[in-house]
C-alpha cells in the first residue's frame, strides 16, 4: 500500500510540468464538450462528404484560418465566422456534408 502511494506521488511529481506546459483552453472551446457530443453517425457517405469538403475548403481555410490553432473544433468555428466569404465550391461541399449527415 505504501509503495503504491509512493508510485502515485512520483507520477504526479513527474507529470506536473507536462500538464503545466499546455496552454489553457478557452472557456467556449469545443474540447469542453462531453465525448458523446457528436450527434451524427459516421457512414461511408458522411466520411466521403467530409473528405470532399476538406479538399474543397482547403484554400479558404488557408486564407481565413491559417493562424487558428488546430484541434478542439477551432477550425470549424473560424470557417463558420467567415461563412459569407467562402468560395462557392466550399459552400456547396459544406451543404453536401450537412445533407449526408441528415440522411445518415
From the list 92, 100, 30, the residue with the least C-alpha distance to 57 is 92
When divided into structural domains, the chain yields a total of 1
Give the separation between CA 88 and CA 65, rounded to whole angstroms: 17
Q: What is the CA radius of gyration of the chain?
A: 20
56 part of a folded domain? yes
Highest mean pLDDT among 23-32, 33-42, 46-55, 66-75: 46-55
Q: What is the pLDDT of residues 52-95, one digit of tens each?
A: 999 999 999 999 999 999 888 899 999 999 999 999 999 999 99
Domain holding 80, by residue range, is 41-104
19 part of a folded domain? no
Give the separation between CA 85 and CA 77, rounded to whole angstroms: 14
Give the separation between CA 3 and CA 79, rounded to whole angstroms: 51
CB distance 52 to 93 below 8 Å: yes
18 part of a folded domain? no
Take residue 23 and report the three cell numbers written for it: 496552454
Amino acid at each position: 500500500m505504501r509503495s503504491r502511494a509512493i508510485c502515485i506521488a512520483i507520477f504526479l511529481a513527474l507529470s506536473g510540468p507536462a500538464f503545466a506546459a499546455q496552454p489553457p483552453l478557452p472557456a467556449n472551446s469545443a474540447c469542453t464538450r462531453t465525448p458523446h457530443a457528436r450527434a451524427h453517425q459516421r457512414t461511408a457517405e458522411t466520411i466521403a462528404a467530409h473528405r470532399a469538403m476538406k479538399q474543397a475548403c482547403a484554400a479558404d481555410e488557408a486564407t481565413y484560418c491559417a493562424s487558428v490553432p488546430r484541434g478542439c473544433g477551432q477550425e470549424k468555428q473560424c470557417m463558420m465566422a467567415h461563412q459569407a466569404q467562402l468560395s462557392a465550391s466550399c459552400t456547396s461541399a459544406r451543404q453536401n456534408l450537412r445533407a449526408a449527415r441528415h440522411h445518415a
